[in-house]
């Protein structure tokens, strides 16, 4: 996390352009510019600013946005729930579509279902996220009028962005589910379960999928992180007031504290997600505890 803050601070340091000039008008006097620069702490050396910032983070202070004037923690706090909501909804869509199709494709390898799944997967990973978003807006908002064009106003406004964001991840999940299930379904305990006379549904969903879960959970966790980060384009296309848009605005306006704070929160969420994935391993597979 410390390294992440350092790298982001360093990158922002080398970005050309002076935030003070963006805040003040062209006609502002030199003294005024110097005063603002001093007030923002930009007249201090880079390393001093970096350590000051670290000290503030320890106290829960992410600084104050140069241009918006509000506390970064407040801005991020307002935007993060929107992005988390979008990522969670996308994860739900991803599981709803990717899991059953992946399982079916593993149960009937080299069949039409398998071919169909592979096609969906290929198209999903090959489509640009912004294009899917625009196509969905055209079809379901303009032509059919079923959903709003953009913004965040209830469940209906969440469906199109969630479908758009989950598209590439669905294909990825399908492939992982297929590979894991193919491996598990050839194991001896599956033959034993069948020989005991269990129904095929119980064999597949209870014995097969449960044992294929670990790689699937890893992918779901990693994809959730990816969805959080990849929401930038979807948020721009659907005017979704989330972290992605906040970071884009921050980068374009050279609003250093805003970008630093937002990326720090992203980094923290990634770490927490990885921790949750590790914990969940021992829940779904008790053998992991003894390893």
Partner 1 sequence: MRIFQLRARVMRIAKRFYGRPMVIFGASIVLLLVIVAVFAPHLAPFDPLEQDLLNRRSPPCLRHPFGTDIYGRDMLSRIIFGSRVSLAVGAISVLIGFLAGGLCGLLAGYYGGILDDLIMRVMDLLLALPSLILAMVVITALGPSLLNAMIAIGVWFAPNYARLARSSALSVRQKEFVEAARAIGCSNFRIIIHHILPNSLPSLIVYSTLNIGTAFLMEATLSFLGLGVQPPTPSWGAMVNEGRAYLQMAPHLVTIPGLVIMLAVAGFNTLGEGLRDILDPRSGFGFQ
**What is the footprint of partner 1 within residues 10-29 (CB under 8 A)?**
11-12, 14-16
Question: CB 100 → partner 1: shortest distance, Å?
Answer: 23
Beta bridge partners of 64: 71
Classify residue 235 by burial, with Cβ atoms within 10 Å: 0-12, 13-18, 19+.
Answer: buried
142 binds partner 1 (CB under 8 A): yes
**CA neighbor of 238 nearest in space, from 86, 74, 81, 76:** 86
Classify residue 48 by burial, with Cβ atoms within 10 Å: 0-12, 13-18, 19+.
Answer: exposed
151 binds partner 1 (CB under 8 A): no
207 binds partner 1 (CB under 8 A): no
If the CB atoms of residues 2 and 279 are measured against partner 1, the closer one turns out to be 2
The tokens for 118 are 């592979």
Q: Stretches 23-31, 36-44, 153-161, 248-256: which one binds partner 1 (CB under 8 A)?
A: 248-256
Q: Stretches 47-55, 103-111, 226-234, 278-286: which one binds partner 1 (CB under 8 A)?
A: 226-234
128 binds partner 1 (CB under 8 A): yes
Question: CB 86 → partner 1: shortest distance, Å?
Answer: 14
If the CB atoms of residues 3 and 286 are measured against partner 1, the closer one turns out to be 3
88 binds partner 1 (CB under 8 A): no
Q: Stretches 60-68, 120-128, 178-186, 202-210: which one binds partner 1 (CB under 8 A)?
A: 120-128
**CA neighbor of 180 nearest in space, from 94, 105, 97:** 105
86 binds partner 1 (CB under 8 A): no
Q: Stretches 50-58, 94-102, 133-141, 281-289: which one binds partner 1 (CB under 8 A)?
A: 133-141
87 binds partner 1 (CB under 8 A): no
Question: CB 18 → partner 1: shortest distance, Å?
Answer: 14
Site residues (CB under 8 A) for partner 1? 3-4, 7-8, 11-12, 14-16, 122-123, 125-131, 134-135, 137-138, 142, 226, 228-230, 232-233, 236, 247-248, 251-252, 259, 263, 266-267, 270
């Amino acid at each position: 996390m410390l390294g992440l803050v350092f790298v982001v601070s360093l990158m922002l340091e080398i970005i050309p352009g002076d935030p003070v000039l963006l805040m003040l008008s062209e006609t502002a006097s030199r003294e005024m510019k110097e005063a603002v620069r001093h007030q923002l702490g930009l007249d201090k050396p880079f390393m001093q600013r970096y350590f000051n910032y670290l000290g503030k983070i320890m106290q829960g202070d992410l600084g104050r946005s140069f241009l918006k004037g509000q506390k970064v923690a407040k801005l991020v706090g307002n935007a993060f729930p929107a992005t988390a909501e979008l990522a969670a909804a996308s994860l739900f869509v991803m599981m709803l579509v990717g899991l059953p199709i992946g399982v079916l494709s593993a149960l009937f390898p080299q069949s039409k279902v398998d071919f169909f799944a592979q096609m969906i997967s290929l198209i999903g990973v090959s489509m640009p996220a912004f294009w899917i978003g625009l196509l969905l807006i055209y079809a379901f908002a303009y032509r059919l009028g079923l959903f709003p064009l953009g913004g965040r106003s209830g469940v209906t406004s969440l469906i199109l962005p969630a479908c758009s964001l989950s598209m590439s991840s669905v294909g990825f999940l399908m492939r992982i589910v297929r590979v894991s299930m193919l491996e598990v379904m050839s194991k001896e305990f599956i033959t034993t379960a069948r020989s005991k006379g269990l129904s095929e549904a119980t064999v597949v969903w209870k014995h097969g999928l449960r044992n294929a879960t670990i790689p699937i959970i890893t992918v779901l966790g990693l994809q959730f992180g990816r969805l959080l980060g990849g929401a930038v384009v979807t948020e721009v296309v659907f005017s979704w007031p989330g972290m992605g848009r906040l970071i884009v605005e921050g980068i374009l306006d050279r609003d250093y504290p805003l970008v630093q704070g937002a990326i720090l929160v992203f980094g923290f969420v990634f770490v927490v997600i990885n921790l949750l994935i590790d914990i969940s391993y021992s829940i779904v597979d008790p053998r992991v505890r003894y390893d």
